[in-house]
Every structure is written in structure tokens, then in C-alpha cells.
Amino acid sequence: DRFTAPSGQKPARVAALIVAAGRGLRAGGEIPKQYQSIAGRPALARTVERFLSHPGVDDVVVVIAAADAALAADVLPEDVARVPGGDTRDASVRAGLAALPEGVRHVLIHDGARPLVAAEVIDRVLAALESSPGAAPAVSVTDALWRGAEGRVLAPTPREGLFRAQTPQGFDLAAIRAAHAAHPGGAADDVEVALAAGLEVAIVEGHEDNIKVTLPGCFARAEKILSRGTQMD
């Protein structure tokens, strides 16, 4: 199949590391956003299912906050490994990286709050990892960009070469572990950590539907995307 390497050797063992230990403060609600339902199913259950059902993914590990253990028990399949997270996203990633099983060669680090990731986006990241130590999906910026302050436009800003970053961000496991160990902390994502360590990261085509549930309105937007099915490429 498409995950068999051309020369016939065994494909690299792939783990999905799903970070879901955040508090979801911007999204609001009684419980953190990843445990809130989108069209009747908790967001995190949807996210995890996308990786469990992907034929190129061998292991799934979910990083959760200790305070959310009961919520996670309701949402995650029993056999999915869970690891306690940290106070920042990068601390949660490091906790997850440390807990991955022996023998994993490639890791896909994904936001638990991106429940709509398509199999083809995962495919593209995995394909790019065959020839690059890092690979991540992104979409080009198509709107005009301005710099502004205090409600006024200061200056138009060229959008050429600018991308909106998504996850899963894929890496050679040993390389991204070393990059995190050398990083002072505070990175917004794992590509930032990888670049700080001098790793090359390939850009692959992401998808407009691969949104990160972030604000209260994102739940309705995600439901709309689910109900219409995939349209944009």
C-alpha cells in the first residue's frame, strides 16, 4: 500500500502525540474546549479518532491535564495512552515526547483542539518525512495584510511567502527530542523549536477546514464544516 516504502523495507514506526492539556480559556465554557461537544461528540474524541483510524499511524498518545483525568476517561478509548501535561504547550509536548514507546521513528505532534484534520493532510506530512527531518501543513495567506494600531491602518504588508501554520507537525523523533531539550521554552509550536535547533522543515499543503477550536464561535464553525463535508482543497 502507499505506506510501504519503495524499496520494500518496513515503513518507519509512527506515533501521533496529541496535546490536550490546555485550559481553553479563550473558548470559554464550563469545561475545557477539547471536552466540549461538536455535533454531539467531544472534540478530543474526534481528534483522537482521526489518528486511530489512519493506516500510517502506529501509536497514539494523548497529553492531558491531571485535573481533567475524569473528563478524559469519558472521552478517550480505554486503550489510548495518556500522559500528564505541563503548564505550557511546549511543556506538554516534552512530557509526551518522553513517554513515547520504544522504536518510534517519526512523531506527528497535533493540537487536540484540531478535530477536523483530514487523512490527506496526515498523508502529506508522512510523505514529506521520508525526505525531511521535519514537515508541517500550512495554508497560504490570501487576504491582504496590514500592520495597524489603535484602530487605524499603518501600512500594507506584503503577504508573499507568508503561511498560516497548522498541525500535525511531523518530525524525526530523536531530532525533535534534542531540539526540545535545547530550547529555552515558550515556543508557540514545534516548528519554532525545530528551526531554533537548525532542523529543516518542509511545508506541505494544509486545509482550510483544519481549524483550531479557539474562540466561542469556533464550535458552530466546526459543526458547519462537518455538516457540509469537505469542499475546499
Using CB under 5 A as the criterion, which residues of the chain lie in contact with Mg ion when the complex forms?
22
Footprint of ligand CTP on 93-122 (CB under 6 A)? 111-113
d(CA 35, CA 23): 10
Min separation Cβ 58 and Mg ion, Å: 28
User: Nearer to ligand CTP by C-beta: 33 or 207?
Assistant: 33
- Distance (Å, rounded) from C-alpha 223 to C-alpha 36? 12
Q: Does 88 bind ligand CTP (CB under 6 A)?
A: yes
> Which x/- pattern over 179-218 shows residues binding ligand CTP (rule: CB under 6 A)?
---------------------------------x-x----
According to the binding rule CB under 6 A, does residue 164 interact with ligand CTP?
Answer: no
137 in contact with ligand CTP (CB under 6 A): no
Size of interface with ligand CTP, in residues (CB under 6 A): 22
User: Which residue, 5 or 215, is less far from ligand CTP as judged by CB?
Assistant: 215
Best CA proximity match to 168, nearest among 135, 131, 141:
135
Q: What is the DSSP string of 97-130?
A: HHTPPTT--EEEEEETT-TT--HHHHHHHHHHHT
Residue span 19-58 as binding mask against ligand CTP, x where in contact by CB under 6 A, dash where not: xxxxxxxxx------x------------------------
Question: 12 vs 108, which CB is nearer to ligand CTP?
Answer: 108
Is residue 63 involved in binding ligand CTP (CB under 6 A)? Answer: yes
Distances in Å between the Cα of 20 and the Cα atoms of 35, 132, 174 are 9, 27, 22
| Min separation Cβ 190 and ligand CTP, Å | 11
Q: What angle do CA 50, 67, 40 make, to 5 degrees?
A: 40
Q: Give the residue closest to ligand CTP by C-beta.
A: 22
Kindly tell me which of 113 and 225 has the beta carbon lying closer to Mg ion.
Answer: 113
Beta strand 134-140 with 163-165 is antiparallel
Q: How far is CA 195 from the centre of its chain?
A: 17
Q: Which is nearer to ligand CTP, 92 or 210 (CB)?
A: 92
Long-range CB contact pairs, 64-67, < 8 A, 24+: 64/20, 64/21, 65/21, 65/22, 65/23, 65/32
Phi, psi of 41, rounded to the nearest 5 degrees: -135, 130
Instruction: Choose from ligand CTP, Mg ion, none: what does 63 bind? Cβ within 5-8 Å by kind.
Output: ligand CTP
The residues binding ligand CTP (CB under 6 A) are 19-27, 34, 63, 85-89, 92, 111-113, 212, 214
